[in-house]
Amino acid sequence: MRDMLDLLVGDGTDLNALQMSLRAVLVFMLTLAFIRIAGRRSFGQRYPFDACTTVLLGAVLSRAVVGASPLWPTLCSGAAIVLLHRLIALASLRWPSVESWISGEACELVRDGRVDEAQLRHALMTHKDLQEAIRKHLGDEGAPVRRATLERDGAVSVLPGRSS
């Protein structure tokens, strides 16, 4: 059985086109399973925690396709990344402090129409960054803004103010 498997998916970096193709199909199918195990949040959200999982999983599993690392240990390490992601996500649900550490907190950049300079510096944003976000949301840089918040996912949400 082991010899047949080695014949199909190869061993090491000296792979033929069929072996690499079969590895790609296997890794693709397992990656889909891993994504389902990780949950929708791993690819639907834009949090650094989820991005880290996505990038790391892609980097690790690509090594299995090209034979840069042994196939089965590489697939196991991919599974470990996904399970760790799932466990941390579950811990975030249970303990708010874990969620805050993993996903951060929202940062209010504009409050009642006034820019909070300290929060802007804390967020490492410039006035130009803020003006760009306002333009994207309101279509007008000079439009009144009641509140602008740097959300945990890095997006800026803007609530328009009342026109005088």
pLDDT tier at 104, thresholds 50, 70, 90:
confident
Question: Where are the domains positioned within the chain?
Answer: 2-101, 105-160
pLDDT for 8: 67
The fold of the 105-160 domain, in CATH, is CRO Repressor (3.30.240)
pTM beyond 0.85: the answer is no
pLDDT at 49 exceeding the cut of 90:
no
Return the exposure string of 109-135: e unless at least 16 CB atoms fall within 10 Å of the residue's CB, then b.
bbeeeeebeebbeebebeeeebeebbe
Max Cα distance, the chain (Å): 79
Q: Which of 40, 44, 42 is closest to 57 using CA atoms?
A: 42
d(CA 39, CA 146): 35
Q: Looking at per-residue confidence, does 57 or 15 come out higher?
A: 57
pLDDT tier at 142, thresholds 50, 70, 90:
confident
In angstroms, how far is the first alpha carbon of the chain from the final one? 78
